[in-house]
Amino acid sequence: MSNSTLSVTMIKSKNGRLPSHKACIKGLGLRKINHSVVLEDTLEIRGMINKVSYMLKIREL
């Protein structure tokens, strides 16, 4: 699972969200709407993505 990578894009604002959701967004390295990052596909990253999946667009590379 860790050999692949994920492209994660934030599609909704983090304003007005729970502090734990804001922390997940920060942990993923996302800063503003339409900002994308490429991350390793690990269980920890998947857990953060699942928590805030309603704010993200995920693409496997």
5-60, CATH topology level: Ribosomal Protein L30; Chain: A, (3.30.1390)
Q: Please check the confidence at residue 2 and state whether its pLDDT lies above 60.
A: no
The residue extents of the domains of the chain are 5-60
Residue 54 has what pLDDT? 96
What single-letter DSSP state applies at residue 4? Answer: S
Residues 6+ apart with CB under 8 A from 51: 20, 21, 24
- Percent of the chain whose predicted confidence (pLDDT) is above 90: 93
- What is the maximal distance between C-alpha atoms in the chain? 35
Residue 46 has what pLDDT? 95
What pTM was estimated for this model as a whole?
0.87
